[in-house]
Structure 1
């Protein structure tokens, strides 16, 4: 399935969002609302699993937006019960760009002690090796997803119950994962030892007893009126039942956390919180830092909507340059409904964004965006601004140059397709045809997210591999295919 429109094809895309509820009547309805709030994390397909003793496990998988399927009362009646999990996805591992319905999560497995459904955000970096091993031992895979490896590893475990089998399976897994799973009675959440991908715990006030919620982000707790309790810690497993509440386990060797720093820059919604920090406030702080590092004489600071907006506000406040909505986003553009000829594809950015000509004309404009990936969209936006009569165009980017692919659950082009992998900052400026181009430094980004001393190269707090080439978990499958990490490349 292609991107919704050409504009999105030049953005890094978070691959998944997960959500689960236990202890609430018609839990699947809560899950549908939570997935709607997490739609920005995956817009290709969605799925929900639910359980009751009477009907057993019931699963529904659909392509497209949550609102297009999981608001249908007839469909939701097929998902009864007080226990439910769900998932929204883009494709990373698996049939990228041509997803089959069998690749849509949650996945379900029937084990000797009962069934379990599982939904996963992240990427398993040794999935190809695990898959070969499991197939050699007789496993039959139904999907192309790396997540299915976990189901087969659980099936082969000799442990006595599903949580123990999951611990057993995940000890074989490398990479990044935040998992929400369910048995007949339990809601389970797990984060990998580095805590690369987010997962939070919430509590629902249902009167006689609490309901419990697991979610990729805090904004999805808000939509169902759940109270944020805490983040699931890196390397932690929580097992939750309606009657007993939350039990915590530490099944992995402790390691220093390396949370994905790009969650702060782009992936998470600005109304979420990460590590006790407001994402909106962090992005505004990135803009402040960017204005300090890369000042420019200009008349107008303009965000590339919507992800560049908080950073643009911070840049304007720090620089004293007026802020204005020089580019207006059409909120109602979906998939192109007419034949995608080359001419229509070239109009893709204009379908999504339009220039406020009266504001732009004659101005020296600073455009603030979250990232530059291939650069194709940046060039088109620059052309739109110049066509509207701007005197100068300056780009300020709220992340360092994206020079390395991510293997932990983000849809990143091959390294040679990344503009920053083959060009210097000055070469990128000339390629984009702008008057100036500056990125925030990696130290500046660390300062903006709360590390006053910048990035400590010996002990970086975050996963920043897409900027630094420093991979906290070796991308085993990709190295086997010929990828050369930074150390090897140098």
Structure 2
């Protein structure tokens, strides 16, 4: 694992009132959601009940071109997905959407999250004769839904029944021959919103920035536990049998994952990150000459720190925009050198100055040390590091690729020891109480398990985060 927190996944769905180029709409929306996953992507298009799908490893513009989009054709519905794996390996076969053809019809699914009891369900299904073709938990979800469909009168009823079986995090879009359905787990770990266009298209997306790309208006978030059904010729309707419990939204969406121009749970991500900087100043004030942010998620927090402290804000780093956030080299030495490929310190901003450097997190500490060294090499007199989240002390089991405890620096060192390890003059983390105050929403509760070890649901096998993962033979790399 690289010394940073990897993205989630991005999901998208559209139902248009008439047949049109929904593949193009999905393509543009996935561009807006590219930050949520850069390993693979895919689009499935529904044309009169027939579902075509294209998916592959790579970024959106690498996987799709005019020819591929043309082959997908026009239709009334489409779903799309950008992926960063938290279960299953990086391969074309694990790309989404998944398309399943079963006795009751065809089902396509795009999922963001992590099913914490997937290994248990998978074993149960395999013992009853099920054969799995992928190594991701999204296929487990599809099996549970299609099995429930055998006895339920509709796909939405099957989903409602399946939700009693599934544990963990899932925000997903499901497409049947006639319906587009959005589903969010009862704890609401991952974001999912609803939007509409002027022509009457219904859109579901992980973040509102995807709605903006299509000129759609943000209507609301899908509620935790809610099933929303969009069907031709009928009003939008919901099933709320699983709604009403305490919410445990992943607070790291506001710290890092989401785009700053998105609105989640009714709160601006940009405003939440400004608030993080303000709280950092209140909790860890320091005398300094300039405040800088590590691109990209540290920039807004740096602005908030500067505003609260009165210390001038400066551009401290130039980022190579042609290197993706998941850029990884095979050896530790190459990973360390890659920091210089991605970032370059701006000497005019930091030379001879006491610098406050704002970043979103520290995982292993290697990248933070290298970034501090970049600033010292550019002439910074002092480097004071401020982190807009608390220290990571536990893994995440709900869709964030936070490393195991033996690789988390905060599990092995005290803050003074980490300060020395990363060659900083001082170090301050945002408190757990502070991170809970980032988003000023009226009803949103947060999951902070990776910071506290207190998870909102029981994790039955905390010692084996990767239990569900295994590799497929190379000759099974087929769609």
| Common fold: TM-score over 0.5 | yes
Q: 1:308 aligns with which of 298, 315, 334?
A: 298
Q: How far off its partner does 1:168 sit?
A: 1.6
User: d(CA) in 1 for partners of 2:252 and 2:465?
Assistant: 26
| Correspondence for 1:247 | 237
Is residue 15–residue 180 contact of structure 2 (8 Å, CA) maintained in 1?
A: yes
1:82 matches 2:82: no
Give 1:156 deviation, angstroms. 1.9
What aligned pairs does 1:273-284 form with structure 2 within 5 A after superposition? 273-284=263-274
Instruction: From 45, 59, 75, give the equivalent of 2:53.
Output: 59
Does the 8 A contact of 2:9 with 2:37 survive in 1? yes
Alpha-carbon distance in 2 for matches of 1:478, 1:104 = 26
Within 1, Cα distance between the matches of 2:132 and 2:228? 28
Mark the CA change 1:418 to 1:335 in structure 2 (over 3 Å): closer, same or farther: closer
Q: Which residue of 2 aligns with 1:389?
A: 379
Q: Matched residue of 1:322: which SS? A: coil
- Quick check: 1:182 aligned with 2:175? yes
CA contact (8 A) 1:127 1:477 kept: no
2:26 is the counterpart of 1:31: yes
For 1:338 and 1:58, the matched residues in 2 are separated by 32
- Is residue 232 from structure 1 mapped to residue 225 from structure 2 by the alignment? no
TM-score, normalised to structure 2's length?
Answer: 0.92
Shift in CA distance, 424/213, structure 1 to aligned 2, threshold 3 Å = same
Distance 1:317 1:243, change over 3 A: same
Structure 2 counterpart of 1:21: 14
2:84 equivalent to 1:94 = no
Which residue does 1:201 correspond to in 2?
A: 194
Q: Which residue of 1 aligns with 2:204?
A: 214
The question of 1:159 aligning with 2:152 is answered: yes
Please give the per-residue CA displacement for 1:76-112, whole angstroms capped at 9, x wherever unaligned: 43243110101110111112xxx22111111112233
Q: Does structure 2 retain, via aligned residues, the 8 Å contact 1:308–1:369?
A: yes
Q: Which moved more, 1:286-295 or 1:474-483?
A: 474-483
**Cα RMSD (Å) of the superposition?**
2.3
Counterpart Cα distance in 1 of 2:38 and 2:326: 15
TM-score, length basis structure 1: 0.90
Q: Does 1:42 align with 2:37?
A: yes
Secondary structure of residue in 2 paired with 1:77:
helix
Distance (whole Å) between structure 2 residues aligned to residue 153 and residue 332 of structure 1: 40
User: Aligned to 1:178, what secondary structure does the other structure show?
Assistant: strand
Provide the aligned length of Structure 1 versus Structure 2.
463
TM-superposed CA distance for 1:333, in Å, is 2.6
Give, in whole Å, the separation in 1 of the partners of 2:74 and 2:55.
Answer: 15
Segment of structure 1 superposing worse, 336-345 or 167-176: 336-345
Superposition deviation, residue 461 in structure 1: 2.2
| Per-residue Cα deviation, 1:34-78 (whole angstroms, up to 9, x for no partner) | 111000000000011111127x11010111111122233344432
Structure 1, unaligned stretches of length 5 or more?
A: 4-8, 453-458, 484-490
